């Protein structure tokens, strides 16, 4: 087990459980595996090491017959600020095997019910991950954003395909070209989230719904999810592969360099010559 990975099988209640220095908490109980992003001081931004841990956990959940549902959750104040920008600069994902792309493949092909509880900022992959979840519960403080263009990048996680499909082209253009954030109620309206509740209730609601799913016949859940998704599965895989190629190229480009150094220097980026 890696140093900053926690596995608690049964027993302790993850919802009241925090551990300083453990970036991802993993807890399995009653057939529900819960992955808690626990790097609140950095707004739950994700490093390459965290992507690897998450990928392993998701892949194991897919293979483990004792796991019947998977839940992603963060903190009441923040779900996920996307990729850790400093880590991205130091460890840019150069190929399709990079940890971020492995994680995206794992979640986009996860065969069992996958849920998320989202409070506070959900930026970049914090939002695009939700496109692959079956049920999403949001705190009324949730703020979604896909600012890839503002970072000199392009969408990932098949969001270039799935966001226009979900919300229509023009609203997708607002979200993906302008990179404009949208709040929980707007996410509910477009169907990105199932229900909006007070932030203190989001994680427990997701847990209750996951427990309901875990009590159902697993083979029926798996086949039903597969049937619902099979029409677009190949397109999603193709979009993710295409995006990953462009994303990796743009990440090394001058606009991303400028955006990322501006973030690190806490200044506005200057794209006037790019």
Binding residues for ligand COA, rule: CB under 6 A, are: 42-43, 45, 81-86, 121, 123-124, 147, 151
Owner of token pair 């692959």: 132
Cβ 65 to ligand COA shortest distance, Å: 35
CB under 8 Å to 216, separation ≥6 — which residues?
Answer: 68
Q: Is the CB of residue 194 less than 8 Å from the CB of residue 114?
A: no
Q: Which is nearer to ligand COA, 6 or 83 (CB)?
A: 83
Cα separation, 83 vs 105, in Å, equals 16
Cβ 151 to ligand COA shortest distance, Å: 6
Owner of token pair 């847990």: 207
Cα separation, 197 vs 125, in Å, equals 22
Number of H helices, E strands in the chain: 10, 10
Helix, strand, coil distribution of the chain in percent, nearest 5: 50, 15, 35
Q: Which is nearer to ligand COA, 98 or 123 (CB)?
A: 123
Cβ 156 to ligand COA shortest distance, Å: 8
Cβ 246 to ligand COA shortest distance, Å: 14
Q: Which is nearer to ligand COA, 157 or 214 (CB)?
A: 157
Cβ 196 to ligand COA shortest distance, Å: 19
Element (H, E) at 57: helix 48-63
Q: Which is nearer to ligand COA, 43 or 75 (CB)?
A: 43
Q: Which is nearer to ligand COA, 135 or 244 (CB)?
A: 244
Q: Which is nearer to ligand COA, 224 or 261 (CB)?
A: 261
Q: Are strands 195-197 and 114-118 parallel, antiparallel or unpaired?
A: unpaired
Here the tokens at position 19 are 């551990």
Cβ 161 to ligand COA shortest distance, Å: 18
């Amino acid at each position: 087990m890696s140093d900053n990975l926690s596995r608690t099988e049964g027993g302790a209640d993850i919802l009241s459980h925090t551990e300083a220095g453990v970036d991802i908490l993993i807890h399995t109980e009653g057939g529900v595996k819960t992955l808690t992003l626990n790097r609140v001081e950095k707004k739950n931004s994700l490093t390459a090491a965290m992507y690897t841990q998450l990928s392993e956990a998701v892949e194991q959940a897919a293979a483990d017959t004792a796991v019947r549902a998977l839940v992603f959750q963060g903190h009441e104040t923040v779900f996920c600020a996307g990729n850790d920008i400093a880590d991205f600069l130091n460890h840019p994902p150069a190929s399709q095997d990079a940890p971020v792309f492995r994680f995206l493949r794992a979640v986009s092909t996860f065969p069992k019910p996958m849920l998320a509880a989202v409070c506070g900022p959900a930026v970049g992959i914090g939002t695009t991950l939700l496109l692959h979840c079956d049920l999403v519960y949001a705190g009324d403080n949730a703020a979604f954003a896909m600012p890839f263009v503002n970072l000199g990048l392009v969408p990932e996680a098949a969001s270039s395909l799935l966001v226009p499909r979900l919300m229509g082209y023009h609203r997708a253009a607002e979200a993906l070209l302008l990179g404009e954030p949208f709040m929980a109620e707007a996410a509910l309206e477009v169907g990105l989230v199932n229900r909006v509740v007070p932030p203190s209730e989001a994680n427990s609601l997701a847990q209750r719904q996951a427990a309901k799913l875990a009590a159902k016949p697993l083979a029926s859940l798996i086949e039903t999810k597969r049937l619902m998704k099979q029409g677009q599965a190949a397109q999603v895989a193709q979009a993710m592969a295409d995006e990953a190629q462009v994303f990796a190229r743009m990440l090394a480009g001058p606009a991303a360099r400028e955006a990322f150094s501006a973030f690190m220097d806490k200044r506005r980026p200057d794209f006037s010559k790019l």
